[in-house]
Structure 1
Amino acid sequence: MSAVLWPVTCRIVKALNTANGIDMFNDDAGGHEAAMRLLKVTEEAGEASAAYIGMTGQNPRKGTTHTTADVADELCDVIIAAAVALHCFTVAPAAALEAKLHAAARRLNAIPEHAA
């Protein structure tokens, strides 16, 4: 996992909290801000989907409008938005993601070869 992900997202969270005048854990507005950050993940996922549609040319009116690099860029935005939002729901976002990542890997290792 990138060594810069958590320090940088922590700085982003602090900047957003300051800009929005929010104390996420001691402010009634923190719930609204958490919802907005969660919705940002959905927005970014929609942009990644739109880029994929544009890459494959599935909209005949528009044709091919995006590249694989565009899709990758949008997926990075999804990851960043999710990492920022995760700070709203746990005091240990890095540990939460690492635990989930290892759990997902363990599940994949549990799949018998003939079932894959």
Structure 2
Amino acid sequence: MDDTWKTLNSLAQHLDSHTAMVGEQRWLVQIVKLQEEVGEVAEAAIGALGENPRKGRSHDWDDVRKEACDVAVTALVLLVRMGGDPRWFFEEHLRMVAARTQPRPVAP
């Protein structure tokens, strides 16, 4: 997982080096990019189902998987660009989400 975070940091640095925006403006652009990527997942899913009469089956489920990966990468780059310790923040949040899915004991 260390290589993953190194790659994410490198991607964030690359993006930061190509913009004059700072701070929250950078974050907002990344959030808009995330929304764009989510739309691409939806487009690919519609295409995999063949539900666009104009395009038919324009995608397959591997396309949906690739677009979902783009969403995940874009979201994690957002965490990196926001500063702090994104790895800790993500892993802590993941632990909290996982804890919410654990069955709760039933009272006798």
RMSD: 1.7
Question: Counterparts of 1:100 and 1:36 in 2: how far apart (Å)?
Answer: 23
User: What is the number of equivalent residue pairs in this alignment?
Assistant: 105
Structure-to-structure mapping, 1:3-82, within 5 angstroms:
3-21=2-20, 29-82=22-75
Give secondary structure in 1 for the equivalent of 2:17. Answer: helix
Distance (Å, rounded) in 2 between the aligned partners of 1:110 and 1:98: 21
> What residue is the counterpart of 1:83 in the other structure?
76
Q: Pick 1 or 2: higher relative contact order, CA cutoff 8 A, min separation 6.
A: 2
Aligned match of 1:26: none
List runs of 5+ in structure 1 lacking aligned partners.
Answer: 23-28
Structure 2 Cα separation of the partners of residues 90 and 32 of structure 1: 13
TM-score (norm 2): 0.87
d(CA) in 1 for partners of 2:97, 2:14 = 31
> Which runs of 5 or more structure 2 residues have no equivalent in the other structure?
none
Give the whole-Å Cα distance in 2 for the aligned partners of 1:21 and 1:62.
38
The alpha-carbon distance between structure 1 residues 33 and 102, as it changes in their structure 2 partners (threshold 3 A), is same
Separation (CA, whole Å) in 2 of partners of 1:35 and 1:106:
30
Query: Which runs of 4 or more aligned residues in structure 1 lie more than 4 Å from their structure 2 counterparts after TM superposition?
Result: none
Structure 2: how far apart are the matches of 1:15 and 1:105? Answer: 32
TM-score by length of 1: 0.82
